[in-house]
């Protein structure tokens, strides 16, 4: 069977690409190895609880005042996605810094509190806001293909090659305030010293102006809505279709499944990391591309403990949407502590805070997560896996109880534990890494956007959290749109 485009993988990136192609009347086929769409944006059931695997904060959706790219795309495809605003309601603790604060209210409350803690924060933070806005606008212009940015966006040009710390120091933000801002990035394990300032600024811009939202329904509903719309637009999706090879045959690409079936298309779009594709799906060697890929830093992997608790969040005193505990607020040293399997970095989410229907009445879902540097799990093998997994989950629960003085153990009705091996098996991410290749040093999203054309292998296109714009559902989905728009334009197709 011949198609215009084949998309390998039905994660957010793949579905973003397929929807845009089908919307533009292209004949598109999505091949997905699992039985459900969405990749990590999915839901599983244990007893009377339905747990969302990944998506809790949807960035770049925005609001009426600041409409985000995602909202625009969801509306364009008429997906009918319902969202709930997420209030700033985050408790952050840092052991070494003796720091324990709740970020609550509006951005101005936040700034006032920072000023009380660290003098000088208010005026400098306020002067940072227009810089964030300028950088955001420059990025939008760049994505639209504008070449000359110097005149209108001097800060964008100035800070293009700065790391986040150096830029924030240059902008006179007090060092302790910088550390507090760093928590956003510790969540995905990027040290501010290596993170490009433009990537940092864009994330902070979305966080402050567009505010994250949550889904009113479960993760899987979002993925299914996308698939339903894709099919309405004439696109096709085949599940349980593991792609094992992609090859060139004259002017066509051939995509081979594990059962030997071959599908043909003019173009193939991969919702997979380039590293996985180079290693597993292309039989030919591409030494330059391989060398470039090996030079990239894979993001963290992690342990996630999904808990169904048989008490309401009010009775459990779980009043915050998110909880964080770090060893310390210096992102560089904190991230180093993630080399060991046992450490004190905890992230917790209580979805019931924004959504009363997240679990049955008088119950609560609590998701605990801790991250690891990529090789932390190297010593784990089939003999010690189950014991290590259970020990670490137990430690995480106990540390959460201790850190926030909240009892949860005796109220656990359901528990499920996902390790790097779980994620690697489900999505084929290398080492189970959760956030693709980190946007560090020169491998930042600006560089990726500018060098995309020169670095293509086999004329394949890549979308999703490992591609141009980095991880996050917003970036993954938008990358699908962005890349397919480029392909349609290249072919002179609207």
Q: Which residues in the 175-214 window bind ligand FAD by CB under 6 A?
A: none
Q: What is the DSSP letter of 11?
A: B
**Backbone torsions φ then ψ of 238, nearest 5 degrees:** -115, 125
CB of 318 to ligand FAD, least distance (A): 18
Q: Tell me if 59 contacts ligand FAD by CB under 6 A.
A: yes
Looking at beta carbons only, is 125 or 205 nearer to ligand FAD? 205
Of 17-25, 49-57, 115-123, 292-300, which part binds ligand FAD (CB under 6 A)? 49-57
Whose Cβ is closer to ligand FAD: residue 168's or residue 434's? 434
Taking CB under 6 A as the criterion, the residue among 7, 12, 29, 208 binding ligand FAD is: 12
On whether the CB atoms of residues 255 and 261 are closer than 8 A, the answer is no
Minimum Å gap between C-beta 149 and ligand FAD is 27
The distance of closest approach from Cβ of residue 106 to ligand FAD in the complex, given in angstroms and rounded to an integer, is 21
Tokens of 102: 């709740």
Write out the DSSP string of 197-211.
HHHHHHHHHIIIII-
- By CB under 6 A, tell whether 393 contacts ligand FAD: no
Asked if 68 interacts with ligand FAD (CB under 6 A), we say no
Whose Cβ is closer to ligand FAD: residue 57's or residue 134's? Answer: 57
Q: In angstroms, give the least distance from the CB of 306 to ligand FAD.
A: 10
Which of 61/99 has CB closer to ligand FAD? 61
Cα 9 to Cα 330: distance, rounded to the nearest angstrom: 37
- Mark 55-73 as b/e (b = at least 16 C-beta within 10 Å): bbbbbbbbeeebebbbbeb
Strand partners, 163: 196
Piece of 357-365, 370-378, 441-449, 468-476 that binds ligand FAD (CB under 6 A): 468-476
Q: Does 10 bind ligand FAD (CB under 6 A)?
A: yes
**Radius of gyration of the chain measured on its C-alpha atoms:** 22
Q: What is the dihedral of CA 155, 158, 160, 166, to 10 degrees?
A: -100
Question: Shortest CA distance to 127 belongs to which of 84, 183, 170?
Answer: 170
CB contact burial 118-145 (16+ within 10 A = b; e otherwise): beebbebbeebeebbebbbebbebbbee
Q: Is 34 in the site for ligand FAD (CB under 6 A)?
A: yes
Helix (H, G, I), strand (E, B) or coil at 477: helix
The stretch near ligand FAD (CB under 6 A) out of 149-157, 292-300, 321-329, 458-466 is 458-466
Structure tokens given for 221: 């509903």
d(CA 443, CA 238): 34
Phi-psi region of 87 (alpha: psi -120 to 50; beta: other; left: phi over 0): beta
> Binding to ligand FAD (CB under 6 A): which residues in 291-350?
304
Q: Does 56 bind ligand FAD (CB under 6 A)?
A: yes
Ramachandran category for residue 104: left, alpha or beta (phi over 0 → left; psi -120 to 50 → alpha) = beta
Binding mask 242-271 for ligand FAD (x = CB under 6 A): xx---------------------------x
Rounded-to-integer distance, Cα 233 and Cα 28, Å: 10
Q: With binding defined as CB under 6 A, does residue 230 bind ligand FAD? A: no
Q: How many other CB atoms sit within 10 Å of the CB of residue 414?
A: 18
The rounded distance, in Å, linking the Cα atoms of 261 and 437 is: 31
Q: Choose the binding region for ligand FAD from 17-25, 152-160, 231-239, 459-467 (rule: CB under 6 A).
A: 459-467
CB 19 within 8 A of CB 484: no
Residue whose C-alpha is closest to residue 11's, from 375, 252, 276: 276
Give the total of residues touching ligand FAD (CB under 6 A).
39
Tokens at 421, concatenated = 């091996």
| Residue 472 found at the interface with ligand FAD (CB under 6 A) | yes
Return the residue of 39, 174, 189, 351 that touches ligand FAD, per CB under 6 A: 39
Pairing mode, strands 213-215 and 83-85:
antiparallel
Return the structure tokens found at 23.
């919307």
> Is residue 54 a contact point for ligand FAD (CB under 6 A)?
yes
User: Applying CB under 6 A, does 43 fall inside the site for ligand FAD?
Assistant: no
Site string for ligand FAD, 409-438 (x = CB under 6 A): --------------x---xxx----xx---
69 is written with which tokens? 């790219």
Q: Which of 6, 7, 21, 40 binds ligand FAD (CB under 6 A)?
A: 40
Taking the complex as a whole, how short is the minimal distance between the CB of residue 82 and ligand FAD, in angstroms? 17
Which of 3, 14, 215, 389 binds ligand FAD (CB under 6 A)? It is 14
List residues binding ligand FAD (CB under 6 A): 8-14, 31-34, 39-41, 54-59, 242-243, 271-272, 304, 423, 427-429, 434-435, 464-466, 471-474, 476
């Amino acid at each position: 069977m011949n198609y215009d485009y084949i998309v390998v993988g039905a994660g957010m990136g793949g579905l973003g690409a397929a929807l845009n192609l089908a919307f533009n009347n292209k004949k598109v086929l999505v091949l997905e190895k699992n039985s459900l769409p969405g990749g990590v944006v999915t839901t599983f059931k244990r007893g009377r609880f339905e747990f969302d695997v990944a998506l809790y904060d949807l960035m770049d959706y925005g609001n009426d005042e600041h409409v985000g790219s995602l909202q625009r795309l969801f509306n364009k495809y008429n997906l009918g996605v319902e969202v709930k605003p997420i209030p700033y309601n985050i408790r952050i603790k840092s052991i070494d810094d003796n720091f324990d604060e709740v970020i609550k209210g509006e951005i101005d409350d936040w700034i006032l509190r920072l000023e009380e803690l660290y003098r000088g924060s208010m005026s400098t933070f306020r002067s940072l806001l227009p810089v964030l806005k300028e950088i955001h606008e420059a990025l939008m212009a760049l994505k639209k293909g504008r070449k000359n940015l110097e005149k209108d966006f001097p800060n964008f040009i100035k800070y293009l090659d700065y790391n986040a710390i150096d830029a924030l120091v240059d902008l006179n933000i007090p060092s302790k305030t910088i550390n507090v801002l760093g928590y956003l990035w510790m969540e995905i394990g990027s040290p501010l010293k290596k993170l490009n300032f433009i990537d940092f600024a864009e994330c902070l811009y979305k966080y402050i102006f567009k505010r994250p939202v949550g889904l009113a329904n479960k993760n899987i509903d979002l993925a299914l809505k996308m698939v339903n719309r894709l099919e309405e637009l004439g696109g096709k999706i085949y599940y349980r279709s593991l792609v094992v090879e992609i090859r060139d045959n004259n002017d066509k690409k051939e995509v081979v499944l594990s059962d030997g079936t071959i599908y043909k298309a003019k173009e193939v779009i991969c919702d997979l990391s380039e590293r996985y594709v180079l290693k597993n799906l292309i039989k030919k060697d591409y030494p330059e591309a391989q060398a470039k890929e090996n030079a990239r830093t894979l993001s963290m992997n992690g342990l996630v403990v999904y808990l169904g608790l048989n008490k309401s969040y009010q009775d459990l005193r779980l009043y915050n949407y998110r909880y964080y505990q770090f060893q310390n607020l210096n992102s560089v040293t904190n991230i180093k502590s993630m080399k060991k399997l046992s450490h004190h970095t905890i992230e917790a989410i209580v979805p019931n805070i924004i959504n009363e229907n997240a679990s049955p009445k008088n119950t609560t879902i609590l998701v605990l997560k801790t991250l690891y540097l990529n090789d932390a799990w190297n010593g784990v093998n089939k003999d010690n896996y189950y014991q290590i997994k259970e020990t670490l989950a137990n430690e995480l629960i106990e540390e959460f109880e201790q850190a926030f003085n909240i009892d949860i153990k005796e109220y656990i009705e359901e528990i499920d534990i996902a390790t790097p091996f779980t994620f690697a098996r489900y999505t084929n991410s290398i080492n189970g890494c959760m956030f693709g290749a980190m946007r560090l040093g020169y491998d930042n999203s600006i560089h990726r956007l500018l060098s995309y054309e020169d670095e293509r292998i086999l004329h394949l296109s890549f979308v999703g959290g490992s591609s141009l714009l980095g991880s996050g559902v917003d970036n993954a989905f938008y990358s699908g749109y962005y890349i397919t728009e480029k392909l349609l334009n290249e072919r002179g197709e609207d």
